[in-house]
Chains A and B, each alone.
Chain A
Amino acid sequence: MPSKVNLIDTFTMQLVFLLSTAIIFGSPSLVPDSWLVGIIAFFPACLLIVLYCAMLSSKEDMGLYPLLERAWGKVIGKMFILVYSTYFLYIAARNIRDMIELIMSILLRITPVPMLTTLFVFVIAYCALGGIHAIARFASLILWIILFMLATLAVLLMFSSSIILEQMLPFLSKGLWPVVQTAFKHSIWFPYGEIIVFLVFQPQLGGAKRMRKVTFYAFVTTCIILSATDLIQVLTLGIENKKFSVFALLDAARLINIANIITRMDALIALIIMFGTLLKCAIFLYAAMVGVSRIFKKKPEDYAFSLAMLAGAFSILVTRNSAEHVTEGLKYVIYTLHIPLQLLVPLLTLILLRIRYRKGATT
């Protein structure tokens, strides 16, 4: 029996995982009152927990990959494992790209991208090498940094009198419906749906029972923190400004100015994002490593550096420019990747498992 990860560590790991990239992009600003989107998306997201937990508990808490094999048989199961590994690696690559774009825009404008990516990717691989226990402990370390920096940001914004309550208005100018629509189109799948990656580690995380509780609390906390940061963005930037800003939190942080001494806090945000992305990518990478090693029969650790390198290379290839990156992320990735792999495949797997399991029980 592998020893289980500490309950609080699991919680913090999921929390940091959910927050890391979502916090910088915020809820997609397709509608005014985007901060409401986060709150509304929380409720359908909880259905995902129910689905995943039902899937887990139908066959004594195995990980995602063995479950797929059980449900679909050897060959198709293995194909699905490969698909999921690729999917995880692809999301990792996208996240790296997000982070690198951000770094390029604030900190280093002339350093060659492959160099930045390669260094970052090595750190990710090193993190993933430690296994899920080390990642979880690392997450609890990062969480404090992130929360501390966010709190600092909020306080500083308040002191530099950038928070203007009137900017929230007009409230619900187009009614509730577009908000609900965006919630269903985007926020469920990103960040909440990405929690599916934790299904891979369930044997170490403690199975359906623990996941139900821990993930629910993680979702609640994420929802609160994300809505709060969204609200801060709206209150500082105003609805119109936020709509056209790619890194909204960053633009909000730029407004900080206290007595001309504390300025340029956007570097601080960059650090938050770096820590968060590092953890998120490490988790995705580890999931991909486990998947690949399940098929090609070696230790997951053997794949760490090569797969990380691949993720780095893909992060450069994945899109040619930011515009493509954003449209791809907001539209096509959700419809072609997130919805099938986060909802449809698990749902079918659950149905298949239920049928097969019942059969197995009677015979």
Chain B
Amino acid sequence: MIILGIFVITVLSFMLMAMLDMLVFQQPYLKVFVHLLPVYPDTSTIFMFLVAFAMAAWVQYGMTERLKKRYGGKNSNNQSGEKRDAKQS
């Protein structure tokens, strides 16, 4: 759902910016929209979008928890031990 949310917001924002550009440049909507897409000449924003979606996916699939479960041997030993004990008692 988080990825979907981010996607919807991205599309909406693009539409909004295209609308403003249409008013500023007095050009047809579709043309402005295509111009707005970050394909050329400035490609750096593509990476920013990718990072945004990657982070959304990270939260969506709870990667922090998973990594902790798999590799969290020494680091969080004390804390997880505490929690487990607390649950048992």
CB neighbours (8 Å) of A292 from chain B are 5-6, 9
Query: Which of the segments A151-159, A238-246, A302-310 contacts the partner chain?
Result: A302-310
A86 to B12, CA, bound (A): 7
- Of the listed stretches A37-45, A174-182, A324-332, name the one at the interface; the rest are far from the partner chain: A324-332
Please give, as numbers and ranges, the residues of chain B lying within 8 Å of A295 by CB-CB distance. Answer: 5
Of B6, B23, B49, which contacts A307 at CB under 8 A? B6
Is A296's CB under 8 angstroms from B13's CB?
Answer: no
Name the A residues within 8 Å of B1 (CB-CB). 296-298
Interface majority SS (helix, strand, loop, mixed), chain A: helix
Residues facing A in B6-37 (CB within 8 A) are 6, 8-10, 12-13, 16-17, 19-20, 23-24, 36
The answer on a CB contact under 8 Å between A306 and B24 is no
Does A314 lie within 8 Å of B2, measured CB to CB? no
In the complex, A21 has a CB within 8 A of chain B? no
Residue from A83, A90, A314 having most chain B Cβ neighbours under 10 A: A314
Contacts of B17 in A (CB 8 A): 90, 314, 317-318
Known: A296-B4, A333-B20. 20 other contacts (CB 8 A): A85-B9, A86-B9, A86-B16, A87-B16, A89-B9, A93-B13, A112-B44, A113-B44, A117-B48, A292-B5, A292-B6, A292-B9, A303-B2, A309-B51, A309-B52, A310-B9, A313-B38, A313-B49, A332-B23, A332-B24
Find out whether the CB atom of A328 lies under 8 angstroms from the CB atom of B24. Answer: yes
Q: Considering the chains assembled together, what is the distance between the CA atoms of A111 and B46 in angstroms? A: 18
Q: How far is the CB of A116 from chain B (nearest CB, A)?
A: 11
Q: Please tell me which one of the listed residues A303, A317, A333 contacts residue B45 in the complex, with CB atoms under 8 A apart.
A: A317
Query: What are 30 A-B pairs with beta-carbon distances under 8 A?
Result: A82-B9, A86-B16, A87-B16, A89-B9, A89-B13, A90-B13, A90-B16, A112-B44, A114-B45, A114-B47, A118-B51, A296-B5, A296-B8, A303-B59, A305-B55, A306-B52, A306-B53, A309-B49, A309-B55, A310-B6, A310-B10, A310-B48, A313-B38, A316-B44, A317-B17, A324-B24, A328-B20, A332-B20, A336-B20, A337-B16
The 4 lowest CB-CB distance pairs between A and B, nearest first, are A309-B52, A296-B5, A313-B48, A306-B56
Residues of B within 8 A of A (CB): 1-2, 4-6, 8-10, 12-13, 16-17, 19-20, 23-24, 36, 38, 42, 44-45, 47-49, 51-53, 55-56, 59-60
Q: Of the candidates A89, A114, A307, A332, which one forms a contact with B44 in the assembled complex, judged by CB atoms under 8 Å apart?
A: A114
Give the residues in chain A near B56, CB-CB below 8 Å.
303, 306
Q: A307 — which chain B residues lie within 8 A by C-beta?
A: 6, 9, 52
Query: What's the Cα separation between A288 and B16 when bound, in Å?
Result: 15
Known: A114-B48, A305-B55, A328-B24. A310 touches B2 (CB 8 A): no
Across chains A and B, the number of contacting residue pairs, with CB separation under 8 Å, is 104
A86 to B7, CA, bound (A): 12
Among candidates A83, A303, A312, residue contacting B6 with C-beta atoms closer than 8 Å: A303
Chain A residue contacts of B42, Cβ below 8 A? 316
In the complex, the chain B residue whose C-beta lies closest to that of A309 is B52
Question: What is the bound-complex CA distance between A294 and B30, given in angstroms?
Answer: 31
Min CB–CB distance B16 → chain A (angstroms)? 6
Residues of A within 8 A of B59 (CB): 298, 302-303, 305-306
Q: How far is the CB of A298 from chain B (nearest CB, A)?
A: 6
Tell me the residues in window 276-309 of chain A with beta carbons closer than 8 Å to chain B beta carbons.
288, 292-293, 295-298, 302-303, 305-307, 309
